[in-house]
A and B are shown apart, each in its own frame.
Chain A
């Protein structure tokens, strides 16, 4: 490597100078609060700052481990993620394949597919809450008028049904996100590969299995990680759709942490909860990366 000239060095510093404000800003609004949360989770402090911070070690974590609320919220979160992400992936791949074909009205179809993703989750949830409403929702109107059921179905009022309903809304909204990322991957696959495949007499199914799917591994991994992270942090959906109910059967980790921090103002144990949630998400990401790398 040749030695830096004066000009190079000056450019180097100029570049650094331009980046510095951004780094400082990120440090201020992102890294600092994260560090404070971690510090708070290991201590006990008074909200008004009248009593000094006291280090209590793992006390809050031990309390969390012994709390039935936490295990319930963790279970709910994992069931939600496991129930929604695979469906989103399968439907997302299907939508991406469809959008990759050329047909009339393709741009309109693409727009339509993107629509659910473009709507804010909170709005989606409120909209679906109305449709699921047991007394004047559209689903019960259809179900009752077609005599599929004789009594109104309590979509959001029965534990299993409420979780299913929540998963349906999540799949409806985020399959298009999966589709978008996978579509980008599809378009990067060179057409020659398919031509070669056709010359070798591949059927469309073998084409999909032998060419498309292997080359889609990277975008699928990205989509899976992003969506699983989102699912494990889900907040707006249960907050607006079910409020965590019935009872606490759809109370996700984020919703539980929100109550702990903003309703009860228990910042220390709430911070510990958030750290635990981070570890769960982190562990999931590591598992994904290892699992998909091993196949290569």
Chain B
């Protein structure tokens, strides 16, 4: 009796596990729930209504980027057919494409479709002329500043780094408060430091590549910009030495406690800074990252964000492409902007009259017009090592362990050797 019960239970379990025969195509989409939690069900509902033959499951992946990356690495090395569609950090796109873990989108989308996305962002997902990801949402670095302090000293928000340094000194000298710093940011040896360095160097007409597209880390413009960073700690002394340990949230905490005039981090800090009870609520604003005098056209907003890509081993790539197009459509990204404060990856959404109801997003969007991306597209699978070399050498310079030129020369040499392998 007992045996037959067990057999029955086993049979029932197996029947439940076995795939049900069905004509509907079933897709799995992997996205983290933070910030996009209410958008995903909404988009899935809209998509399945428009495409009755396709059903979509949401795989909620971790919001800790490294954990999600490891999950994907495991899935793709074992050639798993799911998830069919997955959200990836902008800096993974080049690497994944290079390793053959992404299906090119250009076979499913027209040039016209692809031209609707933020083009600067798209370069991070472009390898050998093929596009491998569609921008889902953007985030980026901005300059946050204390409106009350600037007003007190009759200062305008600084457009250039030269002005920012001068303004910081004016406020610091005027306040006589040893606890008040001019400038704080995320200069710990993390990815955010590399983003900072790219903002500074691009602001001076430099950058990771030169005009010919070659790696030019140790260009004179870059050396001068990096020297300005070093001087901000030791010479002009507007930044505390502890900036070299600060991660985004450490810097945000200082600014929120009223201990800094300027803060340069990503836009996620806006909500906590503006929350009820925040000491700086109503006393701050933000703007694009400054440029160096003479370079008003420089792109200085270091962009991050997520893209949607298609698993090359998916059994339903055409359906997956439809899902990607739907999630990154004008309507879907507008809805995410209005309901979840996610900055759209399509410039046309910022021109939509409805976007005026999306709080600070139109303002954020303007800063993305001067957006820059990290060299993760072209360096592909080697990007994590490129970033590590840059973080290490720039840190050495910021600690004054070696002169700026020596650090950047060394970085240039190491990166050239790495990329020529």
Contacts and interface: CB of A to CB of B under 8 A. Distances in A.
Interface string A177-197: 000000000000000000000
B384 A154 contact: no
- Chain A CB within 10 A, most for which of B76, B190, B384: B384
Q: On chain A, which size bracket covers the interface?
A: 20 to 34
Contacts of A263: 384, 388
A207 to B, nearest CB: 48
Contacts of A247: 189, 392, 395-396, 399, 401
B22 interface: no
B99 A157 contact: no
B254 A49 contact: no
Contacts of B244: 154, 157, 246
Nearest to A130: B250
Contacts of B250: 133, 135
B48 interface: no
Interface in A224-247: 243-247
Given A48-B76, A157-B244, A135 B254 contact: yes
A246 B257 CA distance: 25
Nearest to B401: A247
A259 B388 contact: yes
Contacts of A133: 242, 245, 250
Interface string B236-265: 000011101100001001100101000000
Given A247-B395, A247-B399, A248-B392, A135 B189 contact: no
Contact of B245 (A156, A262, A265): A156
14 contacts: A47-B77, A48-B76, A50-B100, A134-B240, A135-B254, A135-B259, A136-B253, A136-B254, A152-B242, A157-B244, A246-B399, A247-B396, A259-B388, A265-B381
A216 B210 CA distance: 67
A103 interface: no
A247 B193 CA distance: 12
Contact of B257 (A47, A48, A136, A265): A136
Contact of A135 (B242, B381, B385): B242
Contacts of B4: none
A18 interface: no
Contacts of B381: 265
Contacts of B77: 47-49
A264 interface: yes
B100 to A, nearest CB: 6
A179 B70 CA distance: 38
Interface string A254-296: 0000010011110000000000000000000000000000000
Contacts of A243: 188-190
B10 interface: no
Interface string A29-57: 00000000000000000011110000000
B170 interface: no
Interface of A: 47-50, 133-136, 152, 154, 156-157, 243-248, 259, 262-265
B419 interface: no
B395 A157 contact: no
Interface in B195-254: 240-242, 244-245, 250, 253-254
Nearest to A156: B245
Contact of B241 (A47, A48, A157): A157
Contacts of A157: 241-242, 244-245
A246 B395 contact: yes
Given A247-B395, A265-B381, A48 B245 contact: no
Nearest to A47: B77
Nearest to A150: B178
Contact of A262 (B70, B101, B388): B70
A103 B101 CA distance: 65
Given A134-B241, A259-B388, 6 more contacts: A47-B99, A48-B76, A134-B245, A156-B245, A247-B395, A264-B384
Interface in B65-92: 66, 70, 73, 76-77, 79
Interface string B98-137: 0111000000000000000000000000000000000000
B24 to A, nearest CB: 30
Contacts of A156: 245
A50 B240 CA distance: 50
Contacts of A265: 73, 381
Contacts of B99: 47-48
Contacts of B101: 48
B396 A245 contact: no
The 4 closest A-B pairs by CB, nearest first: A134-B242, A263-B384, A245-B189, A157-B245
A50 B381 CA distance: 16
Interface string B295-331: 0000000000000000000000000000000000000
